[in-house]
Each structure stands twice: as C-alpha cells, then as structure tokens.
Chains A and B, each alone.
Chain A
Amino acid sequence: MNTRGTMVLEEGSRIDFDALRLDRRARVRAMMDEHDIDVLMCIRQGNARYVTGHRPLWRAVITPWAPMCTFVRATGGIHLLAATWDDGIPGDIPHENLFALTWNASNTVNSIAGIEGLADARVIAVDGMSPGLAKLLGMLAPNARLVDGEALMRDVRAVKLPAEIECLRTAIAIAEGALATVTTELRPGVRELELKGAFEAAVCGYGLNHVAYEGTFCAAPRDAGSDAGAQVLRRIPTERPIGAGELVVLHGAVHYAGYEGIAGRTRPCVGPSGMVNSTASRGQRELARRFIAAQASAIDACGPGAPANAVATAWARHEAVPLDAPLLYGIGLGVEGPLVGGVPEAAAEDASLRPGMVVVVQGSVHEPGVGTYFGADVVAISDDGPRRLSRASHAPLDVPTDALVPA
C-alpha cells in the first residue's frame, strides 16, 4: 500500500481495523497463556487501546491508577470503566461490560466486583497500582497474586503487525505534512507559540482533532556555552519572536488511530524565500551536514538483533551524545520503551532491537555561534536492516557546502 490518506474508500478502509483489533487481542491472549495471567488490568491508553481497539477521549494528563480496562482470559471478556456510552467502542464489546463514568468509589467497587472471572483469578497483571485499589483487589480476588503487566504489554507491543506499520506511516505523513505547513509560516517576527498553533491547526486540517505531543517550535540557542551540561536546545515554545537568520527547531507528533507519527527538522528563518538555497548560511549547512552524517550512522546501527544502545555508540563516533533527550525510543500506540539516552545511565535497559520494532532516532548537533540542528526520524527494524519511514528532507540546508559559490 502506498496511499497515505484518512478517508474510507469505496472498496474498504485503507486499514482493516476489525482485523487489526482481533490480531492485537490474540497476541495479548497468547502472552497471557504463556505467562499464566488470568486477568489483565490496565489504565495506560496504549495498553487499553491495544487490547480494546476503542477510541478514548484524549487527555494530556496522567491520572491515578484504576483498572480502566480489564481483560479476562477465561471468558475473553473486556470490561471498561468510565465508558458511559458505546460511541467509540467496538461492537464486539457488549453493553453490559461498559460501566458509566462515576465519582462514587462504591460504584467503582460494584463494577469491578461484577466482572466475571475476577474472583477466581490466581494471577492479575497490572500496569500500575494505587493503595486503595490494591486493598480492593485483595478483597475481590483473594487468591490472586499481582504481577507487572506493563513489562508484559511492552514486550507484546514492541513488535508491530504490518497494519500497525501502515497506521504509523499514515501518522508520519500527517505529522510531516503539518510540519511543512508550519515551514510556510516561518518568517522573521513570528512568535514561537504561533508556530505551535499553526502545527495544531494543520493537524486538524487532516481530519484529526488533537496532537500527540505539543512539540518544540523554538529558536535554537546560537551559543549554548561549553559546559558539559550546556543546553543546546530550547524545547518549550514561548512568546519569543523568531529573528531573521535563526535556526528554528520544528518537532511535533500526531495520532492516527492511536498510532504516533512524529516529525522533527530544523529550518533557518530566512523569510518568505526560505526555500531558496542561497539564503541559508554556510555554517548552518555545515551543521546540517554533521547532523545528517551522525544520524545516518545511528540509523545504520538499528539492525535486527543489535543492542539498542549501539545507536549511542554509532552517534558518538560523529558527535557528542546529547544529554537532555533520548537518542532512541520505541513508538507505536504512543511512545514506548526502550529508551536510549535521556534517562540516568543506571536506569538504562539492556534491550535489543527485534525485526518488527519501530523506533524514533533523534539527535542534535551544536556549533557555538551558529546554533543547533535537531532532527528525528522514524525507523522500522526489518530482517534486512533498518528502514526509514520518515520522508522529510533537510531542505534547504542539505545542499553540500562545497557545491556553494562562496559569498
């Protein structure tokens, strides 16, 4: 398939969501069989959506743990809390498994107590916990042992089905399209927050209603200083107007059917004629060249079976490893592990890259007096090696400096 759109076509939707939902659920079921998990309870949107295939109302907050989605292996039943109506809920989940939004803890207790198969559970996998609900589960499922369900779901979700990769490609196309729209609004005097607003408006133009990540639309510091911890990126957009000639980091993400597409590039602010090659400085082009080289090396390191942290080694052969953001992270129904960089070394995982995984490789290079170039690419790990799913170029900075006529 090579058409990237969101409208349903006469011959069917581009992605068979019914099949995708059942395929995902079957994988969760197989995981539960393998690890002898009787009941899976999750709140995390990625986990709940993977199991259920519903369309939840998006919120940008983390709320205290509760079993928003319960999957019982013995019955195959999926039970949802805070589901007052069946809008956005797949038809294979019966109405009696939907529990209304409630503010009364005793209603929550009754809803959970009524889940068939919970009382007999011996092992319950949970993706978080709260003291109150731990007590409640102790009463409702007295023989059950709790285990880390997030680790189990992370493993299931890491390897993508072909239809999931199609969803990711669509999401990336939307993110890159919206970023291209922002580029047309990049001119001296525009404020960073206006660029962020332009990105979100462009996303809505594609039929979506929110972004996955509000993103970075910021002028890069020209001189971050030489300290080891020096900040080479500003990541939170402000009212600051963009100056002529500044490098501007553009980085945002969107959801398509829950799958996250990201785009990240750096553009010079050179006015309405910004796409004309001769208007970017030689130093900016040299910076882009350095980024492209380091990024290519990092992406090459994403082979099947490679340790995830090989990407850091490959990047470090070219450039200093950035301290303040991950160099690699998994992506699917939102951001997933493993993370390389951006977390304390002591917390790093020894994960290896498997065929079917999809990761974001990102980095930044800095040159005092010039600024910072940031870029992010989505890469699928296949049996044959890494495949870049991102399509955006580094224009207008990707013309080799030796091809330029000296100013």
Chain B
Amino acid sequence: MTPPTRELDLARMRAQRHAKLQHEMDARGIDALLLLGTGNAMYAGGGQTVLADNARRYQQRLIVLVVAGDDAPHVFTPYADGLPAELPQSHRHAPLYAETDAGVEHMARTIKELTGGDCARIGIDDYTAPMWFQLPRLLAPAELVDATQLCVDARVIKLPDEQECMRRSWEINEAATYAAEQALRPGVRLNELSGVFLRRLFELGATANFLDPVFQAMPERIADGPWSTNGDVPFNLITTDHIISEGEVIWTDTVMGYEGYASDVGRTWVAGRPSPELRDLYVRWQEITDAVIEHLRPGVTGDVLTRLAIEANGGTKPWLDHFFLAHGLGLEGGEPQQVGADRGPEYDEQFVLQPGMAIVVEPVTWRDGHAGWRCEELVFITDDGHERVSHYPNEPFE
C-alpha cells in the first residue's frame, strides 16, 4: 500500500469537485443545479460560513447554482470572507433569500439571468415552502428535478484532497476527545467534558462543530435507561449536567469539521477502573472490529461485513438496532451508504465497496448489567485494500 500523502491543495479539490458535479449533470441531462442542503452547497460552492443552528442557517443561507458547462459555481452567501480566493468576481453574489415569496421571485429572476433563461431541466436538492409553491411556476417551462441522488453520487468517492481534510478532521477530533478524557473523573459533569472538548477542538484548528457533543453515562442495564421504541441500548442521548460517579461507563460521539469535512469519533471510557466484564466486552469489540476492517477492500459487499461481524460476536448482531455496523462519511457528517441498517439485507448485498470510499465502522458489544463497549473507526478504501485513519488509544487496557 502506498503511504497516504499529507499535502493539501484546497483550490485543486474545489476544481475537481466542480468537474465531478459537471460530469453528473451531463450524464443526467441537467442544465443547472440549485443546491441548498448544507453539505451539498459546501461541496459545490466551497465557501466557508459560520456554523449555526438550522434556524439561523435558513435565514442566512449558503446557496449555490451550478450551470452546465460553466467553469465555476455561482455562490450566494452572507459570508463574503468565506468565499474561495479563486472564485471569479462574476460568480460571487449577495445572499439569496428563500424564506418569502418575494425572495423566491428574486431567486427565480437571478437563476434565469445567470443561466440565460433557457434551461430545460434544473436539479434542486431542497425546497423551502415558498420555493415549493412558487418556483415551478416562476421557472416554467423548465422541469424541476430532484438532485438528491446526483449529489450523493458525486460525493461518495473521496478525492485525495478530501481524504486529507478528513484525516486532519479525525486527528483534531481524536486529540480533543483525548483532552476531554483526561478531564474525566468522578464528580465532573458531562457538559464540562464538552467544554474541554470544544476548547481544544478550536485550539487545534477545527473550522466547525456539527453536533451537540455527546458524552453519555451509560445505564448498566437497558431497562435502567429511558423507554425506547426498539428496546435496544438508548444511545445517543443529549448530554446533560449529570455528575459522573465512580465506575460509570461513558460513550462519546462527536462530529466536527475541517474545511467542512466531518470526523465522527466515538469512544468508550470508564470513570475509574473497568470491571472484568467490561474488559471482556472491549476484547470482543476489538475482535469484531479487526475482523470487519481486515476485509475492507474494493468489491466487498455490505452483507459480507455484517456476516463477519455477527460471526465474531458469536451469532448475534453487534451494532445498535437504530444505527448500523458501518456508514459513509463526508462533508458535514454521515453519508447515506450504510451497512446493517434497517434497509434490509438486499440493500447490504448490492452495496459494493469502491476505492475512495470513507467508511466508519462502529460495532457495539453489550452485556446487560455491565453496560457495553462502542467505538468508531475510520477507514478509507484504497485501490487494493484500505487505510486505517483512526488511532485512538484504548488506554485502560493498553
């Protein structure tokens, strides 16, 4: 295996992403692409914004218009200082406002001006209510088509520069998670761990935090946790000011970004000394994880991975019922390629690993009465195998 490169050229990455979108548009006969979804707009526009909850983001939205055959995307943003340096002046725009009828009328006029007004098919990935009710009429006779799958297809295979962003993102997240683990002791509140985590994250150069950091004190028995629809381990719950007691098992889940690329670090900690039962759960988790990761290479299908994991776990499935054994990762968070989700075995059978995919493997082992072990590991699929990106130490045992 060739060792990973550590160089990063963001302008090259943006140019290659633009070319991939153009390719997908061409293959589907789409003349223009209007993107409002957080990850899709970041992918197409390359602009940085200031992260915020969705209410602020609806009002002050990054929106991108990609015109077939054009050299660059049109980016509409309230954050002009986040625009890529190489973006031509003609493609830098004041924000569009998709929240009102007047805003959508202006949006339609702008689209017509920038596309020459003769688009037959326009791909759109998300609609506000005024867009849904007004745009078809305002852009007629253009046909408005769903751009969701186009974006998924363009984003699934990661370019070398995207992989480097993800390596940096994962490294920063692991280091910040490690800093929080150093603060773990009985008497500390869970949200204090978030404070340590977030401070370290930005000291290390993170550009954004995408998820309310999860530091959850796990119940020893499922029945001790909140009621759930599926009777499985309730994770991930919202972090509170719970005061950590001696011996408690903490599961973490943190999603942050480097240049928009997410890491999704999940670890298991113990406030004190782990029980022998927990040690066994860790060992089994490690065996399952190693068995799955060892088989990650191009051509392997999802059902092979679920079988390996179940086998290594003695015949029962070692992942959460409401999540999955593994999932794709990219801009902003998880991507829709999943292994072992509730989509059914047919989905896993037709899901084939390809070079350039970024896969997070997240098995869980659990023994009621003793809690359990859950960690997430990131792996890139390479031409002839895989590259393991995550390197968090499982300290109580190492």
Contacts and interface: CB of A to CB of B under 8 A. Distances in A.
Nearest to B228: A85
Interface of B: 36-39, 48-61, 78-82, 94-97, 99-100, 102-103, 105-107, 109, 125-130, 132-133, 145-146, 148, 189, 191-192, 194-196, 198-203, 205-206, 208-214, 225-230, 234, 236-241, 322-324, 332-333, 336, 338, 341-344
A61 B227 contact: no
Interface in A231-248: 231, 233-237, 239
Nearest to B95: A343
Contact of A210 (B56, B97, B213, B338): B213
A307 interface: no
B333 A197 contact: no
A64 B238 contact: no
Contacts of A98: 229
Given A335-B56, A335-B60, A347-B103, A128 B127 contact: yes
B119 to A, nearest CB: 17
Given A57-B238, A150-B128, A346-B106, 7 more contacts: A44-B55, A57-B236, A58-B211, A63-B37, A129-B129, A209-B239, A235-B79
A337 interface: yes
A354 B216 CA distance: 43
Contacts of B343: 103-104
Contacts of A64: 37, 125-126, 148
Interface string A322-352: 0111100100011111010011101111000
Which 9 A-B pairs give the minimum distances between C-beta atoms? A334-B55, A204-B195, A197-B202, A347-B103, A58-B212, A201-B199, A200-B198, A129-B132, A87-B226
16 contacts: A60-B53, A62-B38, A62-B58, A65-B126, A83-B229, A103-B324, A127-B128, A128-B128, A150-B128, A193-B202, A200-B209, A210-B212, A231-B80, A253-B56, A333-B55, A336-B59
A201 B198 contact: yes
Nearest to B196: A201
A197 B55 contact: no
Given A104-B344, A200-B198, A336 B55 contact: yes
Contact of B81 (A85, A234, A349): A234
B208 A148 contact: no
A163 to B, nearest CB: 19
The interface size bin for chain A is 35 or more
A17 interface: no
Nearest to A60: B51
A273 interface: no
Nearest to A127: B129
Contacts of B58: 44, 62, 335
Contact of A61 (B59, B106, B198, B210): B210
Choose among B132, B200, B202 the residue with the greatest number of A CB atoms under 10 Å from its CB: B202
A214 B280 CA distance: 41
A347 B208 contact: no
Contacts of B229: 83-85, 95, 98-100
B129 A213 contact: no
B210 A65 contact: no
B238 A55 contact: yes
A406 B59 CA distance: 46
Contact of B106 (A200, A239, A324, A344): A344
B100 A197 contact: no
B148 A209 contact: no
A196 interface: yes
Contacts, number: 275
Contacts of B128: 127-128, 150
A370 to B, nearest CB: 19
Nearest to B76: A344
Contact of A87 (B52, B212, B237): B237
Contacts of A107: 342
Contacts of B50: 213-216, 235-236
Contact of B146 (A132, A148, A201): A132
Nearest to B148: A64
B192 to A, nearest CB: 6
A173 B192 CA distance: 19
A194 B202 contact: yes
Nearest to B241: A207
B53 A255 contact: yes
Contacts of A191: 203
Given A84-B230, A212-B53, A103 B342 contact: yes
A296 B269 CA distance: 52
Contact of B202 (A46, A196, A334): A196
Contact of B212 (A149, A209, A236): A209
A342 B106 CA distance: 14
Contacts of B99: 150, 337, 339
Choose among A44, A212, A214, A234 the residue with the greatest number of B CB atoms under 10 Å from its CB: A214
A84 B234 contact: yes
A84 to B, nearest CB: 5
A352 to B, nearest CB: 15
A204 B198 contact: yes
Given A55-B238, A200-B199, A104 B341 contact: yes
A260 B56 CA distance: 10
B51 to A, nearest CB: 4
A126 interface: yes
Contacts of A88: 237-238
Contacts of B80: 231, 324
B69 to A, nearest CB: 25
Contacts of B48: 236
B216 to A, nearest CB: 10
A3 interface: no
B200 A86 contact: no
A231 B209 CA distance: 26
A236 B51 CA distance: 10
Interface in A126-152: 126-132, 134, 146-151
Contacts of A202: 195
A204 B194 contact: yes
Choose among B37, B58, B61, B78 the residue with the greatest number of A CB atoms under 10 Å from its CB: B58
A205 B195 CA distance: 7
Contact of B95 (A86, A150, A342): A342
B54 A197 contact: no
A200 B226 contact: no
A378 to B, nearest CB: 14
B23 to A, nearest CB: 23
Contacts of A56: 238
A208 B195 CA distance: 9
B59 to A, nearest CB: 5
Nearest to A194: B203
Contacts of B59: 329, 335-337, 339
A202 B192 CA distance: 9
Contact of A213 (B52, B199, B226, B341): B52
